[in-house]
Amino acid sequence: MAIDKPLVVYFFSLAITFASSFSQPAHAGYVEECYGCHTSSRDQPIDGVFPNGFGHWRDSQCYGCHREINDIAINLNKGIFDKRLFALPVSRKRLTQLNHSPLSYMHAPQQVVFTVDGVPRFEFNNLFAFLQQPVSLNRKNKPFTTMMAYPKLTKQQLKQIINKLNNRQNLPNSSFESIKTDETQALMIWNQQCKSCHETTIAPYDKQGLSLFSADWIYNYANGLVKNPNIKRTMPVLKLTKSTAKGLKQLFSQFYKTAKQTIKKQNESTPDKLINTSTKLNNKAISYIWGRFFRDGMCVHCHGIEGRAKQYFDATNNTTISHWLNNNSPWKIWRRLELRSLEIETGIQSHTPGMPMSAPALPQPMRQLFANWISQNCPDLSGNNHCNKYK
């Protein structure tokens, strides 16, 4: 069959355009990532579109890029032609899976509600701690944290984010500072009236997720004095005193602190490397490591495609992976993959986050395969070793 030469040139140039876009250095900071998911412009690619109509998304625009890929997946599964599919760096198998398992960030609210009628929804220090070490908002609904962690976020950056996303207004101070705390009544209310919903799939927030909220919000929301414009209320009105509301805030904060202490201990008890991983890898396993492991493990989301961690290595480029392996300990990667499984157990991210950061932990056999590969000094199919055994 004869192939139209101009058509070949078009697809080749399109592929090159995508490749060059996905090889640009990461430039999005913490602040830009927040804007990319939580503003009305999150559906608009800042840098326009490619010739096939797919958005030229920046790394900070996670929501928009994922939404468009999900849209393409829906069309593909419906048998609808979509020219945006051409040169898209996502396999058809993965696109088929997206029909029932969409990409992350799709539930990120466009508008983060910081205040309602002058009532602060969040307590600043708790929000700051949450962004540094996010928790699963409800472990029964989603056992893993679904947003990126920002362990190096500063309070000044957070103030800037709040000001931008809250109509140029700062988060008001709590009016409950002088209110006496009734921890005894708060614990009784929690056990008798709250936990039956907040420790199941019924409520959107569990006891750790509730640590985000201020005593002001807990009091006003429970008593039905304010409402969240983003969510239809299903919680019955609960008559709380201000002292009890402050006690609940303290209780939720303690739940969060306990989770932080737990993941810290687990982190400290995780070995730096494995001993006695002597399973000999065959060529098929070695080929998989160099060919699909970093993509199947979702590493490319941060370590490639303009990702936030691309300065370490580009997971789509074996040369940069080899360079990193020769200058660093590959056990650092294994350890963070293991740490992610511990984060799932506790529902909170470590201060040095596990990987992949906003997705489920990799299956244990996959992590074990990676450990076996490291133990054999990271071989390739040519018999060359890429790990620095002294690291």
Q: State pLDDT tens for residues 299-356.
A: 887 888 677 788 888 888 899 999 999 999 999 999 999 999 999 988 999 999 999 9
Mean pLDDT of the chain: 85
Q: Is the pLDDT of residue 365 over 50?
A: yes
- Does the residue 317 lie in any domain? yes
Would you give the distance in Å from CA 58 to the centre of its chain? Answer: 16
Question: Most confidently modeled of 19-28, 154-163, 304-313?
Answer: 154-163
What does DSSP say about strands 119-120 and 115-116: parallel, antiparallel, or unpaired?
antiparallel
Q: How far apart are the first and last CA of the chain?
A: 54
Tell me, yes or no, whether 121 and 82 share the same domain.
Answer: no
Q: What pLDDT, on a 0 to 100 scale, did the predictor assign at position 3?
A: 34
Tokens coding 274: 């494995």
* Prior bond of 204 cis (ω within 30°): no
CA distance 122 to 154: 17
Q: What pLDDT, on a 0 to 100 scale, did the predictor assign at position 4?
A: 38
| DSSP classification of residue 270 | S
- Evaluate whether 348 touches 133 at the Cβ level (below 8 Å): yes
- Does the residue 210 lie in any domain? yes
Q: Spell out a b/e string for 324-345, using b for 16 or more CB atoms within 10 Å of the CB, else e.
A: bbeeebbbebbbbbbbbbbbbe
Q: Which residue has the higher pLDDT, 17 or 95?
A: 95
Q: Which residue has the higher pLDDT, 276 or 28?
A: 276
CB atoms within 10 A of CB 323: 15
- Does the residue 388 lie in any domain? no
Cα–Cα nearest to 110, from 246, 229, 235: 229
Q: Is the pLDDT of residue 191 over 80?
A: yes
CA distance 372 to 367: 9
CA distance 391 to 385: 14
pLDDT category at 357 given cuts 50, 70, 90 is: confident
Supply angle C-alpha 99, 13, 297, rounded to 5: 40
Tell me, yes or no, whether 147 and 81 share the same domain.
Answer: no
- Does the residue 225 lie in any domain? yes
Cα–Cα nearest to 312, from 208, 189, 304: 304
Q: Report yes or no on whether pTM surpasses 0.85.
A: no
- Does the residue 23 lie in any domain? yes
CA distance 319 to 313: 9
Tell me, yes or no, whether 129 and 260 share the same domain.
Answer: yes
Kind plus residue range of the DSSP H or E element containing 120: strand 119-120
Q: What pLDDT, on a 0 to 100 scale, did the predictor assign at position 22?
A: 32
pLDDT over 70, % of the chain: 89
DSSP structure string for 14-76: HHHHHHHHTTSPP---HHHHHHHHSSGGGGS-TT-B-TTS-B---TT-HHHHHHHHHHHHHHH
Mean pLDDT of 89-96: 80
Residue 335 identity = R
Q: Which residue has the higher pLDDT, 388 or 60?
A: 60
Least confident piece of the model among 6-10, 140-144, 187-191, 336-340: 6-10
pLDDT category at 25 given cuts 50, 70, 90 is: very low
Total domains in the chain come to 3
Q: Tell me which residue range forms the domain holding 153.
A: 115-268
Task: Choose one of 38, 67, 97: the last residue of a domain.
Answer: 97
Least confident piece of the model among 160-169, 177-186, 259-268, 364-373: 160-169
Q: What pLDDT, on a 0 to 100 scale, did the predictor assign at position 21?
A: 33
Q: What pLDDT, on a 0 to 100 scale, did the predictor assign at position 243?
A: 97
Q: What pLDDT, on a 0 to 100 scale, did the predictor assign at position 18?
A: 33
Task: Choose one of 97, 126, 141: the last residue of a domain.
Answer: 97
